[in-house]
């Protein structure tokens, strides 16, 4: 039964029924082109919309005004259709497209994925659900605009650093070897998000791949080039489904909505023989 409920064909059948209901509700079972009626269901809808906005039910006079405005809206719409005013109206076309897409997506929202489906989705997108990584590192900055060959400068500086005793690897000794900038020499227990915010995402992602306790050159940030020594790295483990189930479910539903819309439009393109001329 669960498998049946997740079949795209069933979604389209449900969508067709929903569109038929929507059309009937909007047009209130028009007996012919010149007859516009108002159903009890539509009156309930008008009352609900009023109550939601005003936080109280409408008075008899206000309800009569709602009904009158509804009829005005309907006759004006019908006359506009007859006059061809909707043809080529991009605003109305976009609004109808949004309503149809909402109905397609809403049909997916009722699906309840099981843990096997969520676990599979989690495995496919595991980089989005890892625990936050935390780093401790030291860095020396080099401004490419100040050097004719910044790679050569980095190589020479790295050689000078490795020639020093480990006890001499201090900010006082090493910072003079680099270019001046507002960045600190040492950062302790800072998150990946923090590093990305201050150095750029490329720099933060580079830290993930660096070997521990080894000076490495040509690490690029939003400012220029760096020589970096990664001292500690924690986190980054894939979180269990139980810890991120709500996030995974929401992402899974979003993916299903995208796929349903794509299949929906694919079927419409075939139905209406869409082609470029």
Q: Annotate 98-118 with b (16+ C-beta within 10 A) or e (fewer).
A: eebeebbbebbeebebeeebb
Alpha helices in 110-240 (DSSP H): 115-124, 150-163, 171-174, 192-199, 201-209
CATH architecture of 131-234: Roll (3.10)
Q: How many CA atoms lie within 13 A of 8 on its CB side?
A: 12
Does residue 24 have a pLDDT over 60?
A: no
Query: Whole-model pTM?
Result: 0.57
The H or E element spanning position 130 is none
pLDDT band, residue 31 (cuts 50/70/90): very low
**pLDDT mean over 202-219:** 95
Separation of alpha carbons 115 and 246, rounded Å: 11
Which residue in 247, 2, 259, 262 sits closest to 125, CA to CA? 247
What pLDDT, on the 0 to 100 scale, is given for residue 76? Answer: 86
Give counts: helices (H), strands (E), the chain. 11, 4
What pLDDT, on the 0 to 100 scale, is given for residue 73? Answer: 87
**pLDDT mean over 184-211:** 96
pLDDT band, residue 29 (cuts 50/70/90): very low
Label the pairing between strands 134-142 and 186-191. Answer: antiparallel
- Average pLDDT score over the chain: 87
The residue extents of the domains of the chain are 2-94, 131-234
Alpha helices in 164-238 (DSSP H): 171-174, 192-199, 201-209
Structural contact between residues 187 and 137, judged by C-beta atoms closer than 8 angstroms: yes
Max Cα–Cα distance, the chain, nearest Å: 94
Q: CA–CA distance from 43 to each of 39, 67, 72, 188, 204 (Å)?
A: 6, 8, 15, 64, 58
Does residue 21 have a pLDDT over 70?
A: no
Rg from Cα positions in the chain: 31
What pLDDT, on the 0 to 100 scale, is given for residue 89? Answer: 86
């Amino acid at each position: 039964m669960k498998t049946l409920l997740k079949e795209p064909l069933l979604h389209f059948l449900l969508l067709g029924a929903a569109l038929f209901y929507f059309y009937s509700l909007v047009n209130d079972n028009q007996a012919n082109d010149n007859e516009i009626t108002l159903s009890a269901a539509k009156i309930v809808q008008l009352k609900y919309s009023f109550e939601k906005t005003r936080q109280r039910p409408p008075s008899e006079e206000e309800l009569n005004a709602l009904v009158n405005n509804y009829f005005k809206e309907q006759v004006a719409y019908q006359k506009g259709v007859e006059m061809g005013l909707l043809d080529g109206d991009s605003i109305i076309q976009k609004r109808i497209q949004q309503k149809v897409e909402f109905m397609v997506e809403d049909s997916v929202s009722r699906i309840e994925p099981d843990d096997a489906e969520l676990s599979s989705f989690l495995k496919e997108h595991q980089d989005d659900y890892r625990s936050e990584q935390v780093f401790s590192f030291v860095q020396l900055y080099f401004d490419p605009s100040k050097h004719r060959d910044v790679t050569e400068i980095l190589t020479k500086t790295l050689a000078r650093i490795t020639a020093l005793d480990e006890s001499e690897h201090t900010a006082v000794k090493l910072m003079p070897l680099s270019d001046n900038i507002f960045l600190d020499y040492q950062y302790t227990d800072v998150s990946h998000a923090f590093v990305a915010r201050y150095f750029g995402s490329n720099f933060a992602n580079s830290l993930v791949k660096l070997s521990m306790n080894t000076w490495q050159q040509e690490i690029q940030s939003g400012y220029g080039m760096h020589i970096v020594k990664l001292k500690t790295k924690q986190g980054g483990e894939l979180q269990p489904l139980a810890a991120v189930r709500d996030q995974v479910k929401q992402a899974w539903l979003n993916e299903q909505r995208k796929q349903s819309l794509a299949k929906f439009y694919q079927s419409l393109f075939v139905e209406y023989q869409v082609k470029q001329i």
